[in-house]
Amino acid sequence: MTRREKQQLIDQGHLLPLMEEFYTIQGEGYHKGTAAYFVRIGGCDVGCHWCDVKESWLPELHPATETTKIVENAVKYSDIIVVTGGEPLTWDMGPLTEQLKAKGVQTHIETSGAYKLTGEWDWICLSPKKVKLPTEEIYDKAHELKCIIYNNDDFKFAEEQAEKVNKNCILYLQPEWSKREKMMPKIVDYVMANPKWKVSLQTHKYLNIP
């Protein structure tokens, strides 16, 4: 396969830079505590300074993997497949989710929403970032909005994002892990004063699992 042919398959979503895949417990948001198979796709230029998977940013560091192989392996473990990153919407998610849905599994995505929404999703977790805002189309389709609280200014940003999502979207505030001790009391007070929000924690880190 030539480099050009390989790039065409990547552009079409038939090859994806696969960073890692693992069966674990969903630690965050609405589905926390649920067993699921995670597929982490490399490639992200959103560049959050507090990102805990910076090794996912450069797609060329991760093998371009056939979506058919990703699907065949994933469905052995779970009927809930969570696609995360990196930023998975950097790539065309259509072929991956089409094959997953053909196998009868649920498809979930964790995304900043910074790129065009592709793929067929049963659950969309939108976690917007200030440095590269979501596209307008994803706000109406998001099932949950998860805003990361790193400092006090993030509460204002969270409210701005909450105004854009659909009325059925579940709203979460989640402390950035390194700031959790400082920000958690503020989040608790904020949610008690603004009960449209819920608290999300990275429970998988407390459980010491992936």
Q: Does the annotation list 146 as a binding residue?
A: no
127 is in an annotated binding site: yes
**Is the per-residue pLDDT at 15 higher than 90?**
yes
Alpha-carbon torsion (126, 142, 133, 188), positive or negative: negative
Q: Tell me whether residue 84 is annotated as binding.
A: yes
Separation between Cα atoms, residue 38 and residue 83, nearest integer Å: 6
Whole-number pLDDT of residue 210: 87
Q: Are 84 and 39 in contact (CB under 8 A)?
A: yes
pLDDT tens across 39-54, in order?
Answer: 999 999 998 887 878 8
CA dihedral 104, 102, 66, 27 (to 10 degrees): -30
pLDDT at 83 (0 to 100): 98
pLDDT at position 49 = 82
147 is in an annotated binding site: no
CA–CA gap between residue 71 and residue 73 (Å, rounded): 5
52 labeled binding residue = yes
Instruction: Tell whether 57 is in a known binding site.
Output: no
Query: Is position 7 annotated in a ligand binding site?
Result: no
129 is in an annotated binding site: yes
Confidence bin at 3 (pLDDT 50/70/90): confident
Predicted confidence (pLDDT) at residue 34 exceeds the cutoff of 90: yes
* 106 marked among binding-site residues: no
Residue with tokens 């700031």: 179
Give 3-state DSSP helix, strand, coil % of the chain, rounded to 5: 35, 25, 40
pLDDT of residue 1: 81
Q: Is 122 annotated as belonging to a binding site?
A: no
- On whether 17 is known to bind a ligand per the annotation, the reply is no
For 84-136, write each residue's pLDDT tens digit. 999 999 999 999 999 999 999 999 999 999 999 999 999 999 999 999 999 99
The predicted-structure confidence for 134-182, as pLDDT tens digits, reads as follows 999 999 999 999 999 999 999 999 999 999 999 999 999 999 999 999 9
Parallel, antiparallel, or unpaired for β 80-85 and 106-111? parallel
The mean pLDDT of 68-91, rounded to a whole number, is 97
Task: Give kind and range of the element (H or E) at residue 181.
Answer: helix 180-193
Q: Quote the pTM value.
A: 0.95
CB-based contacts of 53-60 (< 8 A; 24+ apart in sequence): 53/19, 53/85, 53/86, 55/19, 56/19, 56/85, 56/86, 57/86, 59/17, 59/86, 59/90, 60/17
